[in-house]
Structure 1
Amino acid sequence: MKPAMAGGPYKVPRQSASWRAPVLAAAVHAILLMFLWVGVSWQNNTPTEVQAEIWDMKVQEAAPPAPPAPEAETEPQQEADAEPTPPPPTPVAPPQEPDIALERIKAREKLEQQQLEAARQAKLKKEAEEKLAKLEAKRLAEKKEAEQKAKLAKEQAEKDKKKTAAEKLAKEKAEKAEKAAKDKAFAAEMRRITGNAAKASTGTAERSTGGKIDGGYQAAIRAKIKSNLVYGTVDDTLSATYQITQLPTGEIIGVRKMKSSGSAAYDSAIENAIAKSSPLPKKKDGTVEREFVADFNMKDMH
């Protein structure tokens, strides 16, 4: 720019860069249009609905869906002084991560529940098996104990049986030995007595043997035997016959049953009474019947 000449009129200096102002204005308008276009495009896009479900371990209820967003009011498109710029690319909706996370949570919870249920069933099965095993072991123990007791009882019974048999055999041997000794003593006594009184009584005794018994003598013998008879039942049909052998002193050395009464109890009672009646009564002359047969009728013994 050249300075004005002195004394001359003032002139406005010429703008050397007159194109800058329109370009700058156009750029500002273009930027403003771009922001308006982006805002309008963003408001016109339908918002993506995102649904989320809230799960609770006690109460599982889905959260209500979010209300739809109100539609944005479009603003009138302003006319651009400059050339329109191309619209930006439509944004791609992000993947629905909340739904995938909820599905994973559901699957994990279902798996955990299945595992818990399986563990509970396994525990119940194990407890039942242990209980059955205890019951079976108890039953086997009781069975074994019962078998052991039965075995011991059987062994004890066999021992008692053997002991009883041995005691019975020993008793029988003792009785036989006692009887043999008694018979031997009686025989010796008989020989002694008969040897001393052979001359005095031989004839009388021989005449008495096999003959009839004196009625009074027989009645005395029956009376003594009757006094020693112990038998409660009265039956007049019972009658037994015995042969009795005695020493001259009246000592009984032999009793033989000739006829049974048909009642073992009555026969045993008569035999006991005869044994208890030794020595038997003698005759009036002091002699005895060395051997005689006597009838014991029930009606005569009462």
Structure 2
Amino acid sequence: MSAMKPATAGAPYSVPPEPSRLPAFMLALAVHAALLGFLWFGISWQTSEPVAVEAEVWDMSVQTAAAPELPTPPAPEPAPEPEPVTPPPRAIEPPPVERPAPTPPDINLQREKERKELAKREEAEKKERLRKEEEAREKKLAEQKKKEDAEREKKELAKKEAAEQKKKEEAEAKQKALAEAKKKAAAEKAEAAKLDKLRQDELKRIAGAMGSTGTAAKSTGPKADSGYVAAITAAIKSNTAYGGSTTMPGNPKAIFKVEQLPTGEIMSVRLVKSSGVPEFDRAVENGIKKASPLPKKKDGTVERTLDVNFSMKDYD
């Protein structure tokens, strides 16, 4: 029988050649012949005739009287002839079973089995590792969620406290603003009352002067020094904003009558003569009002009545 060559790794599996049946047949024939010989020897040993044995018994004791005659023993019966021993029926032998000769284990199958077992173990280890990682991740997420919830609650509490504090501060600010507004309104009311009283007193003075002495014309005349006039002119001019053209022929002039308090605050502004350009007249009037209070003289006094004249070319 030729030796089988192991299959190379990676080559397709092939069925090995069937071994020869002659050795198995010869071995079965020899075993059956030995069994038959053993049975024949056993049967022939049991068929030998047994040997007959005869014995006589004598009494050796002393007898005083003559012994009675013993009855004649009957003739021995002939021994029965042994029955012939028939050999047991020969067992029917089953036909020889042809068994394939043992084949050496396939290395590729063994390797494939080991590979599958290794892959199975690796898969189990991978599942266990993934399970542990998933548990760790879930635990970490739970801790992170708990921390975020705590921070969110803390922020919400701080936000609520801040809102309450803001609301409280707004209420306090509102009350303070209301108190300040009341205080300011009272101060403005008192100041307005004071100014109104001064205005009334000045009107009375002007009315008395015009009715008795006739010095109103003098008070409106150019009695002030040049520095005082220049300061008032500069103050009014710096507060006047006229964006129109100043190249009109004839150099139009606007004349205003200004009444002021001893503090320099303007009581009234009245247009005496228009320049013919309403925009210019309004611009000069607004400049006079914005210049309040007007500058004072060097001695701290003011002219209660002023004639303010402004030509259009003064703003070139």
Larger radius of gyration: 2
Tell me the TM-score range normalised by the shorter chain: 0.3 to 0.5
- TM-score, normalised to structure 1, is 0.39
- TM-score, normalised to structure 2, is 0.38
